[in-house]
């Protein structure tokens, strides 16, 4: 029989919140890209502001990059706590939480910066789940769990 203690339930909640955050981010990007097009016919050969809409979605400017892609990035980071194949490089390992105190701060940051401000009611619901996950991480640490209970994922 599987070991199902409070820490495992907490890890499942965090995993679910991170998966929904990734879905939320993908939906947000799709909705944002619905209004973006690349102009060619209506542009002169060299025109500075012809494809400003494209740059509003795909830019390395920190305000555009983080505003547009924050839920996707936080969702991938959150899932990579349990799914090792999503850890794209060693930098991920440095960013990821290793105990439930760090995990609670990560889930709170996910709620505040990657959920509540995106996709209306869906973002608020996912943000609420992330806040519940944050509280569960605190409770798991108070029950004596020091390290995160890893889920056995096959990916």
Confidence of residue 1 (pLDDT cuts 50, 70, 90): very low
Q: What is the pTM for the complete model shown?
A: 0.85
Output the pLDDT for position 154. 66
**Residue 123: pLDDT band with limits 50, 70, 90:** very high
| Per-residue pLDDT reduced to its tens digit, 49-106 | 777 777 777 788 888 888 989 999 999 999 988 887 777 777 777 788 999 999 999 9
Instruction: Please tell me which residue, 108 or 83, carries the higher pLDDT value.
Output: 108
Distance in angstroms between the alpha carbons of the first and the last residue of the chain: 22
**75, 142 contact by CB (below 8 A):** no
Residue 86 is predicted with a pLDDT of 73
Q: Highest mean pLDDT: which of 37-51, 86-100, 125-139?
A: 125-139
* Whole-number pLDDT of residue 69: 92
Is the pLDDT reported for residue 116 higher than 70? yes
Name the nearest CA neighbour of 13 among 94, 78, 99.
Answer: 78
Nearby residues of 137 by Cβ (< 8 Å), 6 or more positions away: 10, 14, 100, 101, 103, 104, 107
Task: State the average pLDDT over residues 30-35.
Answer: 85
* pLDDT for position 3: 55
């Amino acid at each position: 029989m599987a070991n199902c203690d409070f820490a495992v339930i907490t890890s499942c909640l965090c995993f679910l919140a991170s998966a929904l955050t990734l879905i939320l981010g993908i939906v947000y990007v799709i909705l944002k890209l619905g209004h973006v097009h690349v102009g060619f016919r209506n542009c002169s050969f060299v025109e500075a502001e012809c494809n400003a809409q494209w740059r509003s979605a795909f830019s390395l400017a920190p305000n555009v990059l983080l505003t547009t892609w924050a839920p996707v990035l936080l969702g991938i980071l959150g899932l990579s706590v349990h799914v090792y194949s999503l850890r794209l490089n060693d930098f991920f390992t440095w960013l990821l939480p290793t105990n439930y105190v760090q995990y609670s701060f990560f889930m709170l940051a996910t709620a505040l910066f990657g959920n509540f401000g995106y996709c209306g009611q869906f973002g608020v619901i996912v943000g609420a789940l992330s806040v519940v996950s944050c509280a569960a991480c605190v409770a798991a640490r108070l029950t004596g769990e020091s390290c995160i209970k890893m889920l056995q994922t096959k990916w």
